[in-house]
Structure 1
């Protein structure tokens, strides 16, 4: 059985400015994002984890480095990068929502319709595929406790892959440094324990 703890990175300037924060927008953590990661570092006990995986993007990798405290080698995995929003990467949400209301929902989250307007945007189905592949690899680790640092939509994609929820619009954005816990077994079964907690991480 693998216990998988999936963490969203700390805050960036583009998060604060309500911009679309994809894989092209490789922003560092801001001061608040660093403080968020430091706070979670004091809540979790990294010495009880067997491995840590991270998206190679700066905001995720810095979050992972703070949480890791030099304890493990950080496994950088490109399957964990945020969605590539193409020409929409880095743009402000509000103007995009006014121009293309079907592409931004009432929670200010980008819907799968955005690919109708953004050049070279990655489909959500492709994100689900790479997260499914990552989860499949996790089932082969044996009895391990694993920390995964990734991104907002990617964490929502984990939820969709595990629960098979029909529409990701029903999965809200996790908080920065929100932790979701999943349990996998060698048969490839996944179970959600909790989603986007910032306290009571067990």
Structure 2
């Protein structure tokens, strides 16, 4: 089975301000975000990895770099994977969540992914995010069937990928708790069976 080490990037100023932080928002980590990522690296210091994959967005790359700097094993080169980018949120990028509560798609975005009409805000659909995310997972499983793989990505894409791997129905995924910034969740999977080993652990 492939062992997936899923990490959500550390905190950014956009997270701190409780604004939408999608694939079109490219901000760096806060000092607290960097420190949390370094602590996660210390937690993983003795772990060896067969592959390191990160979203190309700055907050994910900085998180990966902070983790790698703490590893005692000599890691492989980090691979930048476009399909790990966060869900593109179009008109909502960088906007305060509190300012959009009356939008017709607000309720669907947070509670009904199967009804969310991304076109209304020039965003990416949940279905598209999940499709590209699972493409990464299937490629990793094929390439590293018995490997240990570290993946640094984002809240929404990780929410949908992890819960799909665990067998949660698409319409129910938004009801699941999102993993925290700079947290580690570990799953073992062979494509047909998935085991949760660690969930949402902080460094």
Find the aligned partners of 1:113 and 1:142 in 2 and give their Cα distance.
35
Pairwise CA distance, 1:96: 0.6
Structure 2 residue 119 is the aligned partner of structure 1 residue 122 = no
SS for the counterpart of 2:6 is strand
Q: 2:77 aligns with which of 70, 73, 80?
A: 73
Pairwise CA distance, 1:41: 1.2
Q: Where does 1:158-173 land on structure 2 (aligned, <5 Å)?
A: 158-166=161-169, 167-173=172-178
SS for the counterpart of 1:173 is coil
1:149/1:9 CA distance change after superposition, 3 Å? same
Find the aligned partners of 1:135 and 1:8 in 2 and give their Cα distance.
16
Find the aligned partners of 2:202 and 2:115 in 1 and give their Cα distance.
27
Structure 2 residue 33 is the aligned partner of structure 1 residue 33 = yes
The answer to whether the Cα contact below 8 Å between 2:6 and 2:152 also exists between their aligned partners in 1 is yes
> What TM-score, normalized by structure 2, do the two folds share?
0.87
1:192/1:98 CA distance change after superposition, 3 Å? farther
> What TM-score, normalized by structure 1, do the two folds share?
0.87
Q: 2:151 aligns with which of 139, 148, 153?
A: 148
Find the aligned partners of 2:193 and 2:126 in 1 and give their Cα distance.
20
Structure 2 residue 83 is the aligned partner of structure 1 residue 96 = no
Find the aligned partners of 1:60 and 1:75 in 2 and give their Cα distance.
12
- The count of corresponding residues between Structure 1 and Structure 2 is 194
Deviates more, 1:164-173 or 1:26-35: 164-173
Pairwise CA distance, 1:104: 5.2
